[in-house]
């Protein structure tokens, strides 16, 4: 019985052990793939000076930020891991080797209105490649390849990585002679296009001063279909001459070429990724059977990571898996389940305290073999101990009673099959 209200705050989560084990397994798989691709881990602070964190951020972020009281300096909790990475690179660039391929798996905080699937404390798994100066576009393809391998490994079913290019999109909109402000607004309308009807899409664009005939041109561009080669061919024949379009198209072409052996990487001009710091490649990952969940992993190219923190230029490409959000969404639809593997391999049960020494010795031996081993201590009737063993849920139990100890043996019982074997004590 509880004395006070101890429930976690809205937007904060306490996972039960068997769910935590699954969460940790998934996190481990993602980290292992980061490392396999040669990304190296850093761990940045959670707390920064408020002005430093918000140097680049817009209004929404400012509203969502958690502020801290401590002395005179205004502090805040990080709301993502990209700003901390920019600060880290600015602080340590002279000690780092570039391209700096970096993995960050950690928590961030956003005090948004807690709605379905939105958590205020959440884990993100970020992979970024930072170049000192220019960074070849092949790294964009590498990050996409990394995400391909991660989601193949995680086995959530068929997925599609939808790829586009912000530079190309901007070049296209410039060719329509949209003004800067209109252009930004149009990108943001396209960003939400899949959540609204065609009618709403048209109304919003008209309100943004985009003419009916331009809307149709835009629609044709966004709906380009076919193989990646088909789409590249169609983009090419559009024969748009401005620099952004040309560069964006070249980048897309290179990425498609590098990723030719990844059939689920698909060009899709609908993808723009809302965040305005993306400048080139953008991509997101969808589960084919669950489009409503939205993207489970996305990212893109940014021109200058350290804008606000260093006068040196650092180009980068990065992408993130919103681990907590994904875990919540896929748990809800049954794609993620609590760990079915037992968390403990062997539970050693000394029947009485006289067998405790032998039990400890057996446990040590089994641990040396790499097993996860618990010993059930305390005096209780044997039936009571077996009840406890059942609740604790180990894969098997090892029983040492007077008879066993006298004969230098123990009984090993598989808790799933019920099979019992006799083994020798070392």
Which residue of 95, 195, 381, 424 would you call a contact of a copy of itself, by CB under 8 A? 95
x/- map, 228-267, a copy of itself, by CB under 8 A: ------------------------------x---------
Which residue, 153 or 290, has its beta carbon nearer to a copy of itself? 153
Of 136 and 191, which has the nearer Cβ to a copy of itself?
Answer: 136
**Two structure tokens written together for 406:** 């006298």
Nearest residue (CB) to a copy of itself, 91 versus 203? 91
Q: Does the CA dihedral 38-44-46-52 come out positive or negative?
A: negative
Q: Contact at 8 Å (CB) between 304 and 277?
A: no
CA atoms of 123 and 159, how far apart (whole Å): 22
Our finding on whether 70 is near a copy of itself (CB under 8 A) is yes
Q: Are 190 and 270 in contact (CB under 8 A)?
A: yes
Give me the sheet containing 159-165, strands edge to edge: 40-41, 100-109, 121-132, 314-321, 297-302, 278-287, 159-165, 265-267
What region does 171 belong to: left with phi over 0, alpha with psi -120 to 50, or beta? alpha
Residues in region 338-377 near a copy of itself by CB under 8 A: 343-344, 347, 356-357, 360, 367, 370-375, 377
Q: Rule CB under 8 A: choose which of 26, 30, 54, 87 binds a copy of itself.
A: 87
Instruction: Tell which positions 292-321 bind a copy of itself, by CB under 8 A.
Output: 308-312
Q: Which region, judged by CB under 8 A, interacts with a copy of itself, from 102-110, 185-193, 226-234, 403-411?
A: 102-110
Between 145 and 170, name the residue whose CB sits nearer to a copy of itself: 145
Give yes or no for residue 38 binding a copy of itself (CB under 8 A).
yes
Measure the CA–CA gap between 243 and 10, rounded to whole angstroms. 48
Interface with a copy of itself, residue 16, by CB under 8 A: yes
Min dist CB 390 to a copy of itself, Å, is 9
8 Å CB contact between 81 and 130: no
313: left (phi over 0), alpha (psi -120 to 50) or beta: beta
Pick from 309, 291, 306: nearest CA to 130: 306
Q: How far is the CB of 304 from a copy of itself (least distance, A)?
A: 12
* 391 lies in the binding site for a copy of itself (CB under 8 A): yes
């Amino acid at each position: 019985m509880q004395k006070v209200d101890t429930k976690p705050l809205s937007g904060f989560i306490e996972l039960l052990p068997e769910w935590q084990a699954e969460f940790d397994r998934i996190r481990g798989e993602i980290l292992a793939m980061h490392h396999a691709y040669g990304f190296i881990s850093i761990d940045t602070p959670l707390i920064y000076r408020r002005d430093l964190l918000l140097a680049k951020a817009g209004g929404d972020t400012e509203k969502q930020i958690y502020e801290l009281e401590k002395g005179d300096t205004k502090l805040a909790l990080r709301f993502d891991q990209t700003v901390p990475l920019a600060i880290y690179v600015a602080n340590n660039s002279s000690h780092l080797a570039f391209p700096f391929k970096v993995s960050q798996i950690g928590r961030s905080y956003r005090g948004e209105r807690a709605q379905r699937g939105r958590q205020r404390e959440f884990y993100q798994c970020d992979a970024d490649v930072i170049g000192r100066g220019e960074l070849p576009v092949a790294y964009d393809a590498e990050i996409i390849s990394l995400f391909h391998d991660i989601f193949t490994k995680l086995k959530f079913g068929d997925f599609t990585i939808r790829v586009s290019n912000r530079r190309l999109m901007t070049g296209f909109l410039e060719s329509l002679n949209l003004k800067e402000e209109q252009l930004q607004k149009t990108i943001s309308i396209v960003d939400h296009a899949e959540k609204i009807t065609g009618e709403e899409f048209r109304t919003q664009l008209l309100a943004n001063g985009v003419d009916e005939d331009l809307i149709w041109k835009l629609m044709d561009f966004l709906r380009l279909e076919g193989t990646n080669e088909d789409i590249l061919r169609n983009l090419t024949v559009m024969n748009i001459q401005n620099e952004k379009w040309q560069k964006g198209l070249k980048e897309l072409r290179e990425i498609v070429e590098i990723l030719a052996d990844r059939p689920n990487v698909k060009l899709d001009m609908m993808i723009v990724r809302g965040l305005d710091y993306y400048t080139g490649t953008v991509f997101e990952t969808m589960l084919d059977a669950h489009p409503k969940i939205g993207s489970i992993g996305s990212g893109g190219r940014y021109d200058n990571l350290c804008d606000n923190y260093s006068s040196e230029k650092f180009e980068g490409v990065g992408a993130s898996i919103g681990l907590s959000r994904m875990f919540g969404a896929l748990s809800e639809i049954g794609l993620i389940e609590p760990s079915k593997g037992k968390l403990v391999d062997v539970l050693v049960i000394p029947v009485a305290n006289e067998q405790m020494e032998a039990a400890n010795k057996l446990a040590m031996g089994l641990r040396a073999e790499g097993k996860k081993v618990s010993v059930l201590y305390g005096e209780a009737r044997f039936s009571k101990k077996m009840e406890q063993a059942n609740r604790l849920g180990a894969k098997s139990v090892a029983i040492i009673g007077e008879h066993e100890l006298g004969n230098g043996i123990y009984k090993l019982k598989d808790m799933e099959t019920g099979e019992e074997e006799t083994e020798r004590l070392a």
